[in-house]
Amino acid sequence: MIRRFPNPFFWLPAGLLAGVLNCATGAEPFWPAAERYSPAVPTLEQVLGYPPGARISSTRQIRDYFEALHAASPERLALRDYGKTWEGRTLFYAVIGSRGNIARLNDIQRQMQALADPAATDAAAAARLIANLPASVWLAYGVHGNEISSPDAALLLAYHLLAAEGDSVVDGILASTLVFIVPSQNPDGRDRFVHHYEISRGLVPDPDRYSAEHDEPWPGGRTNHYQFDLNRDWLALSQPEIAAQVAALNEWYPLIFVDLHEMGSDSTYYFTPEAVPYNPLITARQRENLVLVGRNNARWFDRLGIDYFTREVFDAFYPGYGASWPLYYGALAMTYEQASARGLIVRRADGREMAYAETVRNHFLSSLATAETAGRERRRLLQDFYDYRSKNAGGGDEAYLLDAAPDPAITGRLAALLGRHGIRLSRAGQPFTACGRSFAAGSYKAGLGQPARRLIETLLAPNIEMEAEFIAEQERRRAKRLEHEIYDVTAWSLPQLYGVDAVRCGRIAGADWSPAAIVTEPPAGGLQNEAAKLAWLVPWNYAAAHLLSRALAAGLVIDGSDKAFVHDGRNYPAGTLIVKRAANGSDVATRLTALAAETGAETIGVDHGWVDQGPNFGSEHVHRFTAPRIALAYDEPTAAPGHTRFILEREFGYPVSAIRTATLKSADLDRYQVLILPSTSFFRGDYGTVLGKDGAALLKAWTGRGGTLIFLGNATNFAADPNYGLMALRREKAYREKSEDEKKAAPPAGQTAGKNATQAAEQLQEPLVDGTLIADHDAYLKATLARDVPPDEMPGAIVRAVPDPDHWLAAGARNPLNVLLRGDAIFQPLSLDQGVNAVRFAAADDMLASGYLWSENRRQLAYKPFVAIQPEGRGFYIAFTTDPNDRAYLKGLNILFINAVFRAPAHTAVIH
């Protein structure tokens, strides 16, 4: 029996069918090169009861269909599980190829590992491997759960590759390529969207964008369980969905990686090549090959009359996307973007109705065209991969050195992260000197003479420059109040984000280096003097913060010193923990031993409390920690409260109560000691719209009774709004130099400006105004500057901040700190009668650590607060003016946040 491909779009209204398929009658096959389909391979309709594009498939349905395909064609399709989501859904990929290639999958994997290692595989051996290895393309669908069409396109692609007969394109792909299909990178988010859609849909699909089926409730399906944008987790690898995929990529090294997305409904289709700026560590050959892929995509889209665009919007500068990260092991990587229906049909701004089936078709088409390119260019791609890694491995004796001082635990965490990226490190067994500075024992070396050299450079270099022409164009646009074209952050140096000193050095001798290897875990801590008679001291740092949170969650009694002290000739920093034997059970040493090993914290037993300098253990400068009950605002208007929840729950092991924001207006907050208001979403309003003045008054009263109210990022706008009567902070307008005339018109200091304001308002109503002279273009730009607006939005740079060494909120913080700065909020500092600016931004000339920052913002931000604390009755307001928990990769700021969460309640007289 020969079966033509069933028209999957029969259910569409007749007027839409031509727009979907360019074949109104359905007489032509869906794929122009396909002649027939094998009846031995089950269709989507036979397994799930609907044709492609007629429903939005859940992850359970997706898995069921792949299981059915595997049962029908086990010799041509393999299924591999590679991880679990937070909600327990299985992450898997399918591999489709010829019978011969599927039968030797394990051999292919070993041979790709050999090809990736030029130290073990010389050019002649590589040539033999290249002659017999298939190309490989990794198609990763649905990283954003509400970008819905690509997972259904994955189903259609798998069917087509297995069932199509007499199709030269498919025959060529299967003969020379392995096609890896990850049908859903974010199953939790996708099922959240599908559930919303199914409970919202009506009798027929509604194209109206205001309809409930197109209007997702918070938090939407874009993100995973902890509201992480998984497409931004490729540097931090904090989430299981991406960490597990990176591990799988490092097993297979596919030659082409495609991340398939959706964008606004009024757009068309985007594919490679990317927009400028390109990361300078991407090679010219990779850029040539990206064009090669794009050209073949364009050939098929042109053939079917489908609109598309390239070289706009989506750049290749930031390496933390799925569409970027594989470039740095030597592959090609790219983003494809389809205009989204966000349902089964949507009405575009031009009046045309776009069906879901059309969006599925387009992603199917680009996927197949890319696989065709991979097969056709098999030898070229394999040779380029080997050449890339060979040239990297010839990087010489230079290396990045990661200093273990002053906090070996956080350096160890960074080393383990680099190991997950596939980077080999050596560890120093003793202190050493290199490049004119000393390094502690336990420091790490990332040698640049390894295939991952370009990945090491892009992750560890203090700064990656954007093209000068691109920067000049952004400054030109900004001068005209046009939106800048920087797509994401301009800085991401992992050592800076972790607060680890990294130095690029030449040949390094001595230090008793361990053999270069993949680091999998940071070094464990230990307990010194298990039989201590009085107490154990834990010097305050990143590892100690982990020990504190876990110890409090486990019920241990912990004290902490606000001031530094000297005990038995050893210096202990401010914030040092004191675990007294008498205050805890008889098993305290055993429990501390386990906690020290788990967290990496140094724990020193002492037999007496006499100190040589500083406060004794019974001083008023020593405070007892409580185990605070923590509430976190959840639901609208928050953006990603899950980042903060993830850090507390998954990294620091401390439970959090997520409270819907509207509930805070009526909840009995006295059961909590800490309340955190995370950053808000631009699209979801602000805390004022949800809580109102009455809610703000309740928060103020609760804080006054001893609560700790923490504002993160733009939640500080709510704290600083005088309409709500909370903090004395005030947000600034953009600073603008006044002209001489404006200075003359300004009222004397201390005098009201009311009269001048009235005169100015009256002048605006006059048909004629005073004449002016504009001498040159610079004067013209100054004359056209907008008045009374916020500073220009900052796209993301790493800046330096300076902690106040005298305040307990800054205990353990490095000087300077590195802060990832985004947004447009700048705040006036608190005066000493209002509170303390516990961390301020550095001077303008010393502020920028990495990335690009508008010069006006840099000058205005200098000496302004990053962290401010203000007393309210017996409690505290604490404001972080930019979010320290953003994307969970600012490890160097964790200690400040932990101080706010645990030290502040220890300083309040809370009685509940």
Q: What is the pLDDT of residues 825-837, one digit of tens each?
A: 999 999 999 999 9
pLDDT, position 2? 34
Q: Which residue has the tokens 């290396």?
A: 399
| pLDDT value at 661 more than 60 | yes
Lowest mean pLDDT among 406-410, 774-778, 863-867, 897-901: 774-778
- Output the 3-class SS for 165-219: ECCHHHHHHHHHEEEEEECCCCHHHHHHHHHHHHHHCCCCCCCCCCCHHHCCCCC
Q: What span, in angstroms and rounded, lies between the C-alpha atoms of 151 and 1?
A: 30
Burial class (CB in 10 A: 0-12, 13-18, 19+), 462: middle
d(CA 502, CA 506): 13
Which pLDDT value is given to residue 743?
A: 57
Q: Does 605 score more than 60 pLDDT?
A: yes
pLDDT tens digit sequence for 541-572: 999 999 999 999 999 999 999 999 999 999 99
Report how far residue 785's alpha carbon sits from residue 662's, in angstroms, rounded to the nearest whole number.
39
- The reported pLDDT for the residue numbered 911 is 36
What pLDDT shows up at residue 843?
98
Comparing 14 with 873, the larger pLDDT belongs to 873
Residues in the chain: 912
Checking if the pLDDT of 788 tops 80, the result is no
What is the C-alpha to C-alpha distance for residues 442 and 405, in angstroms, rounded to an integer?
A: 9
What pLDDT shows up at residue 562? 97
What's the CA gap between 850 and 898, in Å, rounded? 25
The closest alpha carbon to 500, from 561, 417, 430, belongs to: 417
What's the confidence (pLDDT) of residue 762? 55
pLDDT at residue 140 greater than cutoff 70: yes
Calpha distance 265→343 (Å, rounded): 11
Least reliable range by pLDDT among 409-418, 604-613, 756-765, 805-814? 756-765
φ, ψ at 345 (rounded to 5°): -165, 145
**Phi, psi (deg, nearest 5) at residue 887:** 60, 5
Peptide bond into 42 cis (omega under 30): no
Give the residue-averaged pLDDT of 17-38.
Answer: 49
Q: Over range 326-334, report the average pLDDT.
A: 98
Ranges of H-type helices in 821-865: 855-861
Predicted confidence (pLDDT) at residue 24 exceeds the cutoff of 80: no
In this structure, how many other beta carbons lie within 10 angstroms of the beta carbon of residue 288? 12
Supply angle C-alpha 366, 372, 376, rounded to 5. Answer: 145
Average pLDDT over residues 424-437: 94
- The tens digit of pLDDT for each residue in 163-178 reads 999 899 999 999 999 9
pTM for this entry: 0.93
Fill in the amino acid letter for 420.
R
d(Cα 806, Cα 188) in Å, to the nearest integer?
Answer: 45
* C-alpha to C-alpha distance for 467 and 54, rounded to whole angstroms: 45
Work out the mean pLDDT of the chain and round it to a whole number: 92
The lowest-confidence range among 13-27, 231-245, 289-303, 587-601 is: 13-27
Q: What's the confidence (pLDDT) of residue 782?
A: 73
Six token digits for residue 95: 């591999």
Where helices occur in 421-467 by DSSP H, the ranges are: 453-460
Tens of pLDDT, residues 350-392: 999 999 999 999 999 999 999 999 999 999 999 999 999 999 9
What string of DSSP letters covers 718-752? HHT-TTTT--S--BPPPP-PPPHHHHHHSPPTTS-
User: For position 736, what pLDDT does the model report?
Assistant: 83
- Is residue 874 scored above 60 in pLDDT? yes
Q: Which pLDDT score is estimated for 335?
A: 98
Residue 770 predicted with pLDDT over 50: yes
pLDDT score of 747: 59
What is the predicted pLDDT for the residue at 912? 33
